Structure 1
Amino acid sequence: MTTAFVLIDMQMGMAERIASGRPRANPDAEEKVAALLALFRDRGLPVLHVHHDDADPDSPFRKGEPGGEPMPCAMPLAGEAVFWKSGSSAFAGTGLDAALRRIGADRIVVAGAVAAFCVTSTVRAANDLGFKVILPGDALLAFDIPAHDGGRIDPETVLRVTLSLLGADFAELVTADGVEARL
């Protein structure tokens, strides 16, 4: 069983959100992501990066723009695949599925941003495609969101609900420290 690390949207646009003071859960997520990258690299296991390239010219998440660049904690190394997506799921139109199958990965660890959006879409798609998913909840960025009926939902609640939904049917929930025992 080959396990690959799929890191989603850890781009400078996220760092800008954080620096602006936007409420978020997991203030140590960047450290957890860096530790997971080091673990997979030390073990010689595949690392695949997925970045967002938004069609909106006002979005900070644009290929070739400063907000589209990787965060320092998530810099791809030579030889690590980098995929660019324009939608929510890392699998939609990127070739990620084929790349994972080429390297014989049948299990993936997913981390990155944003928990309730692109991470959720990716985890659900991975499950639909037959991959076993390990999800270290403390290696996810999660922000507050507007509530459908007014006000805002705090980032801790957003993350708790997101992990509860994904853990119910789509992924094995762990901490970043718990990933090593599953490799």
Structure 2
Amino acid sequence: MQPTIPTLIIIDMQKGMASAAAGQRNNPDAEQNIAALLQAWRKAGAPVVHVRHMSRTPGSVFWPGQPGAEFQEQLAPLPNSHVLEKNVPDAFINTGLERWLRVRDITRLVIVGVSTNNSVEATARTAGNLGFDTEVVADATFAFAKVDYAGTPRSADEVHAMALANLQGEYATIVDTRQVLAALATVA
């Protein structure tokens, strides 16, 4: 039996995430890595899900109709792409994502996007809990600097690393773009 290509899930790669106002971030090459993965998935004719966060808070950069809510051009879905909108961090909550995957007998997921410690982590945790074979691509995700609960400022790299550590082995396997592209080349 030939291995199947996992579904690529691109989370919240919207214009608002690329603005300086979003905060100090890590992985400046994340968009380039996501674009390379997206191109490879499209070339292979494999399924891609584009997730967009739509805020429930009027005035938010992610409020419907705001420029920040739009997809970044280089990562925009094609007209026939599956797009879902969410208004909480987890892409499985109130979106129909699980049903969409199950009806297609999809069991393997590759998750990329932003932010590592928020929507990526929440979605990967649920995916793992639902039994999906899940990979999170470390260099195709990024996080923002944040002050922790004890009041200690944490760099974007620290926030990113902790989120990946939270996922590794329990909910997902952490990989990099090179590994994913190499694996895709063996099944595509």
Q: TM-score, normalised by structure 2?
A: 0.92
- 1:5 corresponds to: 8
- 2:150 corresponds to: 149
15, 18, 23: which one aligns with 2:18: 15
Query: Partner of 2:169: helix, strand, or coil?
Result: helix
Superposition map of 1:43-54 within 5 A = 43-54=44-55
- 2:93 corresponds to: 92
- 1:175 corresponds to: 176
In structure 1, what is the Cα distance between the partners aligned to 2:110 and 2:149?
31
Superposition map of 1:108-147 within 5 A = 108-147=109-148
Question: Cα distance 1:21–1:67, how it changes in 2: closer, same or farther (>3 A)?
Answer: closer
Pair 1:42-2:40 in alignment:
no
- 2:73 corresponds to: 72
- 2:8 is matched by which residue type in structure 1? F
Query: Partner of 1:179: helix, strand, or coil?
Result: helix
In structure 1, what is the Cα distance between the partners aligned to 2:75 and 2:153?
29
In structure 1, what is the Cα distance between the partners aligned to 2:113 and 2:22?
19
- 2:32 corresponds to: 31
Give yes or no for contact 1:2–1:105 (8 Å, CA) kept in 2: no
In structure 1, what is the Cα distance between the partners aligned to 2:7 and 2:35?
15
- 1:161 corresponds to: 162
What displacement does 1:20 show? 3.9
What displacement does 1:21 show? 7.8
Give yes or no for contact 2:16–2:22 (8 Å, CA) kept in 1: no
In structure 1, what is the Cα distance between the partners aligned to 2:22 and 2:163?
22
- 1:60 is matched by which residue type in structure 2? V
- 2:143 is matched by which residue type in structure 1? A
What displacement does 1:148 show? 1.2
Q: Give aligned pairs, total.
A: 181
Q: Deviations over 1:82-120 (max 9, x none)?
A: 100011100000011111122221000000011000100
Give yes or no for contact 2:89–2:118 (8 Å, CA) kept in 1: yes
More displaced 10-residue stretch of structure 1: 129-138 or 144-153: 144-153
- 2:150 is matched by which residue type in structure 1? D
What displacement does 1:2 show? 4.4
What displacement does 1:72 show? 1.9
Query: Partner of 1:79: helix, strand, or coil?
Result: coil
